[in-house]
């Protein structure tokens, strides 16, 4: 091992030069494809760098804008989701929810931890592909139930037990995704829950079986409301592709809440090419979505929940400033409860990975006991501890959001607005539709 | 038999008239009911009629219905004296739904249990994503039927359209007439005594007396798509 | 900002379609009323705009009818005067603020070309001897009232109710689309290869007013018919050359035709009795027609062209 300019990669020798086009990761992937004859599958969201909230900054207090004192002057964080039609909208204490993640991808104790942490902080969790488990309903005070193309485990009792229903049109990691997930095997418990043979390759449908298009979605939503006597809010979740049109159509189809998931949003498993090359960044998706809501006269009446790479209070504050009513977290919640823990580095090494890098979630061998159906591995995961850790993390995120909001003079976090933001790069300025820092210029519009 | 207590078939049915009531009012009444016979009048193609029932009711609908009639049905017996739109008895859990006329697309989609009987024809995607329910069609079914059907049984006395049973798992299909084409991984299979018996039961449950099990062919999964083998890559 | 968004995505057709072909004199007399009832029933699927193509009152041989629409309601008198000076006007009838039906003593192609050239700000919703197309960005109920559809008679009609993807709903994106004489198309669904096809059709000399996918389908049919195909042949060409989801209903001078794409996810229900043949996205629209309860009801098969009336080359 040699060093040059601090480069200490194994096998490195002075004078070797890496290609940007055929970098080591690309070469490795081509070699793997040549060996295996099938696409690479992994979990998580887009890994490559895209314009994001990191390219935005909040303008704090100044001579013309006065901040609020932390701790003594209120900065409210509560939010109501779904009061457009439902008899019982969701009333959450914080504007951060836990996104849909499937039991089957996650272990039962992992789902329990998410429920515990969310309930402690007065927010909701969401079921995923595979349906509602008793553990999740038992531990989650507010539970959103997904209606997915697969319809695994779908039943009217769970619809009635849910606090809200989320019709999933798509998700950010794989908008339009479906097809075979070759090599992703189904375990016994999951097979039983989903009425599938064990040990076979997983397939997923990309369209719903009984409706296609917003005109027919409208009728489907009507059915869901009828089955649940119009009690529950109906969410519609879309992956970020054409957000202006998708949000407008979701509203016209009758959605009470729209959930918008950018390309950084995670998945348990899908083809790598899908994750990295389909869908648009979360940052780019929000302004068109908000514009659609404003033009239809329903901004803040049909709530917008944004997900896809939300990591900290700064991301939350910026998403709210752009017009979201709340955000949803997936990967961050899993890291909080214990995914990719550094204590497990040796274990990750045994399965060809390292803590902070592990994304072969579909293989079900997660030493943290989160992405697994193996009873022994799952038993390692302490759900109560995980729940506390999630609550700690959520508390931190919300305090951060409040800190930033107060600095901008807001007594309520949803009062953050686009005028509180500036951008560091031309791309981010154009996507977020806020000026480049220190200028009046929003690329694509006339400078004033 | 004299002296016998009146049973539910003798009890008078209550009528709910959709020219006077909204579908919401209709369904609210049906959701509150615990039993009894109900007649729905003047449906004129409205949607979600009798959706979400969960009691041992008997519901008879006098006319044509729209989408998702008897959606997610549990325990109830629903009869439509006419045609139905998309997704009749979608996700049915138990009970029985009978359509005297024709059914539109996605009949019985993702049904988990119970029985759906279609006296006329069903259209495309009949039994799509089936998860354990039974569907018996006196007429023919359209293309892409039984797509990704996991569990359950589909009986077709007429013909089946193209791409039958594409990506099918363990559901069993019996067709008496012509099959326009089989979907990926769906093949004709041997009819053994247990299949003939199963088929006879299903036909009897559906009240079909003029079709013999021996006239049917069986179709199901070849199971080649269950585990990826690079040599089968062409199948995908 | 809005126009940049409009430019990057073409409006897909989220909506309801209806169509009716009269087989009896009684039905012809009440055709407008039937079409109106069906349109209103499909408002849930398409609340934002409505349109109808109705075939009626044929102009005499050598004459033509144009249905015109203009954003500038004040300029109609001048426009009609100009047309009269240019090619002649037999009759001009204003309908509401922005629409007018004009009969001219010249052929439809000449009349249409003249208006396109000389009055570029006036939109030509239809041109032909028989067809009249009215469309507007108002609810179906308002539409049938404003255009007095229920009072019209005719031989056949196609209608459309639209759920607009853009929020500033303009009539331009509304159906029926007409890119040929006495020809119209309504579409439910979403095409996926229309942008390149639009470029090709432009090179063939066909003009477009929107970035709408349905307009491309209408233009494709016009082009095929121009090349000598029958309507059936042109529709069968759709199966080869168009990609995406569609239920199409096409109107010609003589009748109408229906086609669904091979996957057929978008709905279509048809019904027929002694008095009429009808199509709609949902049965409940058909249920508004007299005799619907006893009519034969069926769903068109995917990839099969159905036609009524003598459908010939345009």
Å between A212 CA and nearest CA of chain B:
11
pLDDT of residue B201: 98
Lowest mean pLDDT among A163-167, B7-11, B183-187, C229-233: B7-11
8 A C-beta contact, residue C162 and residue C212: no
pLDDT of residue A119: 98
**pLDDT confidence of A103, banded at 50, 70, 90?**
confident
Q: Which two tokens stand for residue C3?
A: 């126009």
Interstrand relation of C244-251 and C184-191 (parallel, antiparallel or unpaired)? antiparallel
Give the C-alpha separation, C159 to C270, whole Å: 14
Q: According to CATH, where is 3.30.70.100 located in chain C?
A: 59-129
Using one digit for the tens of pLDDT, what is the confidence trace for A114-164? 999 999 999 999 999 888 988 899 999 999 999 999 999 999 999 999 999
Cross-chain residue pair B45–C287, CB shorter than 8 Å: yes
Look up the ipTM and state it.
0.94
Instruction: Output the CA–CA distances (angstroms, integers) from residue B14 to A229, B64, B70, in the order listed.
Output: 21, 19, 18
CB proximity list for A16: less than 8 A, separation 6 or greater: none
pLDDT of residue A3: 45
Q: Is the pLDDT of residue A306 over 60?
A: yes
With tokens 């020219």, the residue in question is: B19
Q: What DSSP element (H or E) covers C162?
A: strand C156-163
Same domain, A135 and A25: no
Is C15 among the residues known to form the active site?
Answer: yes
Same domain, A219 and A88: yes
Using one digit for the tens of pLDDT, what is the confidence trace for B78-106? 999 999 999 999 999 999 999 999 999 99
What percentage of chain A exceeds 90 in pLDDT?
A: 75
8 A C-beta contact, residue B77 and residue B95: yes
- Give chain A positions within 8 Å (CB) of C16: 215
**pLDDT confidence of B236, banded at 50, 70, 90?**
low
Higher pLDDT, A9 or C234: C234
Same domain, A21 and A124: no
- What is the number of structural domains in chain A? 2
| Mean pLDDT within B51-64 | 97
- What is the number of structural domains in chain B? 1
CB proximity list for B190: less than 8 A, separation 6 or greater: B218
pLDDT of residue C167: 54
SS3 annotation, B94-133: CCEEEECCCECCCCCCCCCCCEEEECCCECCCCCCCCEEE
Q: Is the pLDDT of residue A7 over 80?
A: no
Using one digit for the tens of pLDDT, what is the confidence trace for C166-178? 656 778 788 999 9
CATH number (domain holding residue B77): 2.160.20.60
Average pLDDT, rounded, for chain B: 93
Closest CA to A279 of A118, A394, A169, A377: A169
Q: What residues of C are in the B interface, CB distance below 8 Å?
A: 263-265, 267, 269, 282-288, 293, 297-299, 301-302
The verdict on pTM exceeding 0.90 is yes
Same domain, A28 and A54: no
Q: φ, ψ for residue A79 (rounded to 5)?
A: -150, 145
Query: Given C15, C67, C184, C238, which residue is catalytic?
Result: C15
Q: Is the pLDDT of residue B13 over 90?
A: no
Residue A327 lies in a domain: yes
Residue A444 lies in a domain: no
Residue A448 lies in a domain: no
Give the C-alpha separation, A154 to C242, whole Å: 35
| Mean pLDDT within A346-368 | 89
Å between B71 CA and nearest CA of chain C:
17
pLDDT of residue B235: 61
Same domain, A306 and A322: yes
Residue A438 lies in a domain: no
Interface of C with A in 13-32 (CB under 8 A): 14-16
E-strand spans in chain B? 14-17, 35-41, 56-62, 77-80, 96-99, 115-118, 131-137, 151-156, 172-175, 186-189, 217-221
CATH number (domain holding residue A370): 3.20.20.70
With tokens 């009240």, the residue in question is: B207
Same domain, A214 and A180: yes
Residue B123 lies in a domain: yes
| B145 and C CB contact within 8 Å | no
pLDDT of residue A2: 43
Using one digit for the tens of pLDDT, what is the confidence trace for A399-438? 999 999 999 999 999 999 999 999 999 999 999 999 999 9
Interface of C with A in 83-122 (CB under 8 A): none
Å between C245 CA and nearest CA of chain B:
15
pLDDT of residue A183: 55
Lowest mean pLDDT among A35-44, A410-419, B22-31, B46-55: A35-44
Cross-chain residue pair C283–B83, CB shorter than 8 Å: yes
| CB-count burial class (<10 Å; 0-12, 13-18, 19+) for A62 | exposed
| C190 and A CB contact within 8 Å | yes
| C46 and A CB contact within 8 Å | yes
| B158 and C CB contact within 8 Å | no
Residue A226 lies in a domain: yes
Residue pairs between chains B and C whose CB atoms are closer than 8 Å: 47
Q: Whole domain around residue B172: which residue ranges?
A: 14-227
Class for the domain spanning C59-129: alpha beta
pLDDT of residue C6: 39
Interface of A with B in 138-167 (CB under 8 A): 150-152, 154-157, 159
Give the C-alpha separation, A269 to A278, whole Å: 15
Spell A146-180 as b/e; 16+ CB within 10 A means b: bbbbbbbbbbbebbbebbbbbbbbbbbbbbebebb
Same domain, A140 and A205: yes
For helices C213-226 and C231-241, angle between their N-to-C axes, nearest 10 degrees: 130
Residue B145 lies in a domain: yes
Q: What DSSP element (H or E) covers C15?
A: strand C14-22
Q: Tell me which residues of chain C have a pLDDT lower than 70.
A: 1-11, 166-168, 310-314
8 A C-beta contact, residue C57 and residue C184: no
Q: Whole domain around residue A1: which residue ranges?
A: 1-37
Same domain, A95 and A200: yes
Alpha carbon A324 to its chain's center: 14
Give the C-alpha separation, C18 to C162, whole Å: 12
Residue B4 lies in a domain: no
Give the C-alpha separation, C177 to C214, whole Å: 7
Fold category of C2-57+134-308 in CATH: 3.60.20
Helices assigned H by DSSP within B1-100:
23-32
């Amino acid at each position: 091992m040699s060093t040059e300019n601090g480069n200490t990669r194994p096998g490195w020798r002075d004078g070797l030069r890496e290609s940007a086009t055929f970098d080591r990761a690309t070469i490795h992937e081509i070699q793997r494809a040549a060996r295996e004859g099938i696409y690479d599958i992994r979990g998580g969201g887009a890994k490559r760098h895209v314009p994001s909230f990191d390219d935005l900054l909040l303008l704090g207090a100044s001579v013309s804008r006065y901040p609020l004192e932390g701790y003594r002057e209120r900065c409210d964080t509560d939010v109501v989701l779904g009061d457009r039609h439902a008899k019982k909208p969701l009333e959450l204490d914080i504007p951060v929810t836990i996104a849909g993640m499937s039991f089957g991808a996650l272990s039962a104790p992992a789902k329990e931890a998410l429920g515990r942490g969310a309930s402690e902080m007065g927010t909701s969790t969401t079921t995923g592909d595979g349906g509602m488990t008793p553990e999740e309903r038992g531990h989650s005070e507010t539970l959103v139930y997904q209606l997915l193309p697969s319809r695994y485990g779908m039943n009217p009792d769970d619809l009635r037990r849910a606090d809200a229903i989320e019709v999933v049109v798509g998700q950010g990691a794989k908008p339009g995704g479906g097809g075979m997930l070759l090599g992703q095997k189904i375990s016994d418990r999951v097979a039983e829950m989903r009425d599938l043979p064990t040990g076979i390759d997983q397939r997923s449908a990309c369209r719903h079986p009984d409706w296609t298009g917003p005109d027919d979605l409208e009728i489907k939503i009507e059915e869901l409301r009828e089955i649940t006597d119009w009690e529950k809010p109906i969410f519609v979740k879309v992956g970020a592709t054409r957000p202006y049109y998708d949000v407008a159509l979701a509203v016209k189809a009758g959605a009470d809440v729209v959930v918008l998931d950018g390309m950084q949003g995670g998945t348990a498993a899908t083809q790598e090419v899908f994750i990295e090359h389909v869908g648009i960044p979360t940052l780019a998706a929000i302004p068109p979505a908000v514009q659609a809501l404003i033009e239809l006269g329903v901004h803040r009446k049909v709530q917008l929940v944004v997900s896809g790479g939300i990591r900290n209070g700064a991301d939350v504050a910026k998403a709210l400033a752009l017009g979201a009513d709340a955000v949803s977290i997936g990967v961050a919640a899993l890291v909080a409860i214990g995914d990719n823990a550094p204590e497990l580095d040796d274990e990750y090494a045994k399965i060809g990975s390292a803590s902070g890098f592990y994304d072969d979630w579909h293989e079900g061998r997660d030493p943290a006991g989160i992405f697994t159906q193996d009873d022994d591995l799952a038993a390692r995961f302490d759900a109560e501890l995980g729940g506390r850790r999630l609550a700690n993390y959520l508390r931190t995120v919300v305090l951060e959001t409040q800190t930033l909001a107060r600095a901008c003079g807001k007594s309520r976090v949803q009062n953050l607005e686009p005028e509180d933001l500036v951008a560091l790069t031309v791309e981010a300025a154009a996507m977020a539709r806020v000026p480049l820092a220190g200028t009046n210029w929003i690329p694509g519009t006339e400078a004033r | 038999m004299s002296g016998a207590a009146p049973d539910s078939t003798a009890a008078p049915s209550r009528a709910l008239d959709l020219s006077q009531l909204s579908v919401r009012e209709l369904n609210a009444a049906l959701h509150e009911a615990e039993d009894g016979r109900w007649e729905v009048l003047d449906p004129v193609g409205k949607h979600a009629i009798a959706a979400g029932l969960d009691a041992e009711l008997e519901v008879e609908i006098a006319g044509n219905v729209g989408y998702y009639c008897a959606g997610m049905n549990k325990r109830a017996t629903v009869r439509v004296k006419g045609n139905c739109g998309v997704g009749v008895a979608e996700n049915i859990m138990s009970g029985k739904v009978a359509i005297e006329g024709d059914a539109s697309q996605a009949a019985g989609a993702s049904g988990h249990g119970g029985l759906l009987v279609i006296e006329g024809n069903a259209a495309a995607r009949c039994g799509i994503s089936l998860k354990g329910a039974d569907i018996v069609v006196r007429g023919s079914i359209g293309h892409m039927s039984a797509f990704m059907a996991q569990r359950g049984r589909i009986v077709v006395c007429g013909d089946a359209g193209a791409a039958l049973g594409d990506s099918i798992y363990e559901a069993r299909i019996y067709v008496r007439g012509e099959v326009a084409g089989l979907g990926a991984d769906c093949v004709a299979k041997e009819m053994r005594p247990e299949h003939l018996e199963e088929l006879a039961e299903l036909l009897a449950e559906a009240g079909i007396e003029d079709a013999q099990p021996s006239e049917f062919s069986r179709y199901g999964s070849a199971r080649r798509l269950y585990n990826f083998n690079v040599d089968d890559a062409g199948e995908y | 900002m809005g126009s940049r968004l409009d430019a990057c995505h073409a409006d897909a057709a989220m909506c309801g379609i209806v169509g009716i072909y009269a087989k009896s004199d009684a039905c012809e007399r009440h055709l407008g009323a039937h079409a109106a009832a069906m349109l209103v029933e499909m408002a849930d699927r398409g609340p934002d705009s409505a349109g109808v193509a109705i075939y009626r009152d044929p102009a005499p041989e050598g004459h033509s009818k144009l249905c015109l629409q203009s954003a500038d309601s004040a300029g109609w008198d001048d426009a009609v005067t100009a047309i009269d000076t240019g090619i002649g006007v037999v009759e001009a009838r204003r309908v509401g603020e922005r629409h007018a039906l004009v009969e001219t003593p010249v052929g439809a192609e000449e009349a249409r070309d003249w208006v396109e050239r000389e009055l570029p700000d006036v939109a030509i919703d239809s041109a032909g001897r028989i067809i009249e197309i009215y469309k507007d960005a108002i609810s179906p109920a308002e539409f049938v009232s404003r255009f007095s559809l229920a009072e019209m008679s005719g031989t056949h009609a196609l209608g459309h109710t639209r759920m607009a993807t853009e929020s500033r709903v303009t009539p331009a994106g509304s159906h029926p689309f007409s890119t040929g004489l006495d020809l119209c198309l309504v579409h439910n669904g979403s095409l996926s290869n229309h942008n390149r096809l639009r470029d090709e059709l432009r090179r063939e000399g066909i003009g477009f007013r929107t970035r709408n996918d349905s307009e491309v389908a209408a233009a494709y049919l016009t082009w095929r018919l121009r090349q000598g195909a029958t309507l059936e042949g042109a529709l069968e060409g759709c199966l080869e050359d168009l990609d995406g989801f569609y239920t199409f209903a096409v109107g010609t001078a003589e009748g109408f035709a229906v086609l669904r794409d091979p996957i057929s996810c978008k709905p279509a229900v048809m019904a027929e009795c002694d008095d009429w043949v009808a199509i709609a996205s949902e049965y409940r629209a058909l249920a508004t027609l007299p005799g619907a309860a006893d009519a034969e009801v069926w769903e068109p098969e995917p990839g099969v062209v159905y036609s009524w009336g003598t459908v010939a080359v345009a």
